[in-house]
Amino acid sequence: MKFKPADKSGGVVVELGPKESQLPVVSPEQAPAPLPAFKLKKILVPVDFSDCSRKALRYAIPFARQFDARLILLHVVQPYPPVPQMSTVDAELVQAAKSELHTLRRTVDDEVPSEAVLRVGNPHVEIIEAAEELGIDLIILSTHGRTGLAHVFLGSTAERVVRHAGCPVLIVREHEHEFVATGSTQKKAVRLAGEAVLPQSALRPPQNANPSQKGVAS
């Protein structure tokens, strides 16, 4: 039996040998078991309102659209070190973060179902706990890619989440090979006549209760 590419159709031509009367038949018992379906229902996207975290959100939107999943945008407000007679959390800071989070959520409402969650605490701890409490299937998280002393002193939220999260984590770096067109790559794609590119609607970056000590979901 020989396999040859077809001249024009792009298919394959199968040539049987002199002693072969037909193609081999695979019985149901011999057939490989079907692969399990890949399902995503909830995708968690932690955001700190930086360009890098917005980039992670631009990756998350096509994922959510393809798998008919819901996006949960999470922002964590870090409390101040405890000081006598002073609150560890600035109420105005929490309110400002809540407002910016809901503004960001409105940018993705036309794209995919979404909700906003605000929590107070250590970022990597709150991300991991939120993922567990909300039944998250995938975390899409940005990292600034700090190295050297900056990494030693500041640590890596992304690294800690990857180590301890109970679900898969997709890390989006600030500078990397792109498989979703963003920024200059998006402009380049628009200029390429005759090339297949993602629609503009898929590239757009991605509402109210009183914040509690752990979290608020709209």
Q: Hey, where are the domains in the chain?
A: 42-217
* CA dihedral (147, 150, 155, 158) positive or negative: negative
Contact at 8 Å (CB) between 137 and 166? no
Q: Report the distance separating Cα 124 and Cα 130, nearest Å.
A: 10
For residues 135 and 167, the answer to whether their CB atoms sit within 8 Å is: no
pLDDT digits (tens, 9 = 90+) for 56-88: 999 999 999 999 999 999 999 988 766 565 565
> pTM higher than 0.75 for the full model?
no
Q: What confidence score (pLDDT) does residue 57 get?
A: 92
pLDDT digits (tens, 9 = 90+) for 26-60: 677 777 777 667 788 999 999 988 888 888 999 99
| CATH code 3.30.70.2740 for 42-217 | no
CA atoms of 71 and 139, how far apart (whole Å): 10
Whether 127 contacts 165, CB under 8 Å: yes
94-119: pLDDT as tens digits = 889 999 999 999 999 889 999 999 99
pLDDT value for 89: 66
pLDDT at 110 (0 to 100): 84
**pLDDT at residue number 190:** 34
Q: Report the C-alpha gap between 64 and 136 in whole angstroms.
A: 12
Cα separation of 170 and 114, whole Å?
Answer: 18
The residue type of 81 is P
What are the tens digits of pLDDT across the range 164-205? Answer: 999 999 988 876 666 555 444 444 333 333 333 334 444 444
206, 60 contact by CB (below 8 A):
yes
